[in-house]
Amino acid sequence: MEKKIIVLATSNQHKVKEMNFLLSKYGYKIISLDDLNLKIDKEETGKTFKDNALIKARDISEKTSYPVIADDSGLSINALNGFPGIYSARFMEDKSHKEKCIALNEMLKDTDDKSCSFFCAVAYIDKANNIEKVFIGETKGRLMPEYDDNAIDKFGYDPCFFSNDLGKTFGSSTPEEKGSVSHRSRAINLLIEFLEGKK
């Protein structure tokens, strides 16, 4: 059976591989912007993860007839009113994530509340069927006082995010462990439930 193509609004092949792994078993094939020689031209000016995911998805949906998926994610710290949130990637953009974690801990020095969440918004647009949906995944934890220099995976804020579900940092977890509880996998699972329900 021929797989149904969905465009993932990214040039990040790691994300493409992850999405293909999750969706291929349901009969979908994920392709990237590079495969279609496309790029996102709109700025992420939204106030929420949902807004920014939709900005990217709508921009690419205007340029292709295929259904489109776009995601936006970040770390929200409760005592900082959700900061860095949608600015997670842009916060101290020229600094390492270790330096970012140190700076965030400095901001929290006067509170015992280190609780935080990773959020991921996955936008899905299928203009041929007039469908526009956003799915939100959340995983809760707390900011560790120190960056884990011995982390297995030093991706982003993972070495200083302690997962309540796993009882350890994302950085010290295997890809399978992280994938079972991560904000992205939870959002994608909601997308899969929707796609399967639409069949």
**Structure confidence at residue 1 (pLDDT):** 62
Q: Which residues is 124 bridged to in the sheet?
A: 69, 133
Q: Tell me the C-alpha distance between 57 and 64, whole Å.
A: 11
97 φ, ψ to 5°? -65, -25
* Active-site residue, selected from the candidate residues 34, 51, 71, 72: 72
C-alpha separations of 186 from 22, 63, 108, 182, 191 in Å: 11, 28, 28, 6, 9
Output the pLDDT for position 151.
85
Tokens of 160: 């200083």
- The answer to whether 72 is a known catalytic residue is yes
- pTM higher than the cut 0.75: yes
CB atoms within 10 A of CB 184: 22
Residue type (1 letter), 13: Q
Q: Kind of pairing, strands 131-143 and 115-126?
A: antiparallel
Tokens describing residue 6: 């969905």
Intervals of the chain under pLDDT 50: none
Q: What is the pLDDT of residues 132-147, one digit of tens each?
A: 999 999 999 999 999 9
Q: What is the pLDDT of residue 199?
A: 57
Domains of the chain: 4-198 (3.90.950.10)
At 61, list the tokens: 């949906």
Task: Write the DSSP string, 110-149.
Answer: T-S--EEEEEEEEEEEEGGGTEEEEEEEEEEEEE-SS--T
Specify whether the CB–CB gap between 178 and 170 falls below 8 A.
yes
